[in-house]
């Protein structure tokens, strides 16, 4: 009887320790997602919206390309921060994009971190 009582207590402690952990993990994931979403929204408004239009704009090629996963994140980070360097090194994808959009004079030269670019991408996808 005593062994059964000890086993029951151990199971209850184990169950109670694991249950809130799952809830707290979900809370942390939800919080991080909301934080990433808000960060992306702020950064997009600050750096991108003037040229690329709002997230809801139907004709925004940037938003459409992000939603369709047209570019790898590593390329987007380089393109957003060092488009001029990519052109100097004759990066074919950068040249193609430049030609596709009528060789506009504007060059992206931001200094955004990987996490900031992820935030923008996350914001545009959701």
Q: Does 102 have pLDDT greater than 80?
A: no
| pLDDT for position 43 | 96
Percent of the chain at pLDDT > 70 equals 76
- Cα torsion through 64, 68, 71, 72, rounded to 10: 130
- The chain-wide mean pLDDT, for the chain, equals 83
Give the end-to-end CA distance of the chain in Å, rounded to a whole number: 56
pLDDT tens track for 53-95: 888 877 777 888 898 999 999 999 999 999 999 999 999 999 9
| pLDDT for position 110 | 92
Angle at 39 between CA 34 and CA 42, to 5 degrees: 125
Instruction: Say if CB 124 and CB 94 are below 8 A apart.
Output: no
């Amino acid at each position: 009887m005593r062994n059964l009582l000890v086993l029951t207590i151990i199971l209850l402690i184990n169950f109670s320790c694991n249950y809130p952990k799952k809830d707290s993990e979900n809370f942390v994931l939800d919080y991080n997602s909301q934080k990433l979403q808000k960060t992306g929204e702020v950064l997009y408004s600050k750096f991108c919206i003037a040229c690329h239009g709002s997230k809801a704009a139907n004709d925004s090629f940037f938003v459409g390309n992000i939603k369709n996963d047209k570019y790898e994140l590593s390329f987007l980070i380089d393109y957003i921060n060092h488009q001029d360097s990519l052109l100097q090194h004759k990066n074919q994808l950068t040249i193609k994009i430049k030609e596709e959009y009528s060789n506009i004079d504007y060059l992206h030269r931001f200094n955004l971190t990987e996490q900031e670019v992820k935030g923008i991408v996350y914001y545009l996808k959701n």
